Amino acid sequence: MAVKMDGDSSTTDASQLGMTGEYMASSHYVLHPQDDDGEENMNDHEDGGTKENYREQDIYLPIANVARIMKNAVPQTGKIAKDAKECVQECVSEFISFITSEASERCHQEKRKTINGEDILFAMSTLGFDMYVDPLKLYLQKFREAMKGEKGMPGVAVGESLGEDLTDDGFANPLPAGIITADGQQQNVMVYTTTAYPQIPTVQQIQFS
């Protein structure tokens, strides 16, 4: 039977990644307090209570974000124990890896190098999360439309001609540039820098599969 036991947090990767402790939940094992001190050596991990065997880096999403989503999901009067929050934090990384491996495999099978949206959706369907697929498609649509309006990226099939004003090196400071196209419609376009959307570190071409 697998057991969770008290041990040191393995955060060697924390310093490599330069992440602070608060973002790294320790791979903690919890021993229900007994007369025995933590004399028990944690070296015999043959029970599946450890994840160090198959994951080198323990990277997690910030616990505050995770906890907030949990809090909003359960009934208002409900409470969430601290160990449950930490646990879900770990489950989340597991989920992401789970989906990613599956998507990556499909990608390789089709001799492609870049994992795209379809791969992710397919992976979810395969792994028993097909109930997420439709809502996700909807979100993606909204996201694309919103980003289209902001960036007006060349190469994105917008359906209206945006004119030649927008080039790759035209991404300076954000400025509104009203353009009146040939058929008299006014298309308002924001010339956009990546820093204005800090969450996505690099601007990647949106691939329409």
Partner 1 sequence: MSQTNSGKHSQASEAKKAISLPISRVRLIMKSSPDVSSINQDALFLTTKATELFVQHLALTSFNNRSQTEANTLNYSDLAKTAEESDTFHFLTDILPKKILAQDYLKSLEQMQDEDSDF
Residue 111 binds partner 1 (CB under 8 A): no
**Among positions 55, 106, 158, 179, the unique one binding partner 1 when judged by CB under 8 A:** 55
> Which residue number, 169 or 202, has a Cβ lying nearer to partner 1?
202
CA gap 196, 206 in Å, rounded:
18
The sign one gets for the Cα dihedral 130, 134, 135, 140 is positive
Residue 90 binds partner 1 (CB under 8 A): yes
Count the alpha carbons within 13 Å of 85 in the hemisphere toward its beta carbon.
19
Q: How far is the CB of 197 from partner 1 (least distance, A)?
A: 7
Amino acid of residue 105: E
Residue 45 binds partner 1 (CB under 8 A): no
Q: What binding mask, one character per residue, do residues 143-172 give for partner 1 by CB under 8 A, x or -?
A: xxxxx-xx----------------------
Q: How far is the CB of 56 from partner 1 (least distance, A)?
A: 7
**Among positions 136, 156, 162, 179, the unique one binding partner 1 when judged by CB under 8 A:** 136
Structural tokens at position 76: 């208002």
Q: How far is the CB of 32 from partner 1 (least distance, A)?
A: 5
Residue 206 binds partner 1 (CB under 8 A): yes
In Å, the largest CA–CA distance within the chain is: 83
Residue 132 binds partner 1 (CB under 8 A): yes
Specify burial of residue 151 (Cβ count, 10 A radius: 0-12, 13-18, 19+): buried
Q: How far is the CB of 204 from partner 1 (least distance, A)?
A: 4
Residue 134 binds partner 1 (CB under 8 A): no
Q: How far is the CB of 164 from partner 1 (least distance, A)?
A: 21
What is the three-class DSSP state of 7? coil
Specify burial of residue 169 (Cβ count, 10 A radius: 0-12, 13-18, 19+): exposed
> Which residue number, 114 or 167, has a Cβ lying nearer to partner 1?
114
Q: How far is the CB of 162 from partner 1 (least distance, A)?
A: 13
Integer CA distances (angstroms), 150 to 52, 120, 164, 201, in order: 43, 25, 17, 17
Which residue is listed with tokens 């043959």? 46
The sign one gets for the Cα dihedral 127, 133, 135, 138 is positive
Residue 99 binds partner 1 (CB under 8 A): yes
> Which residue number, 8 or 160, has a Cβ lying nearer to partner 1?
160
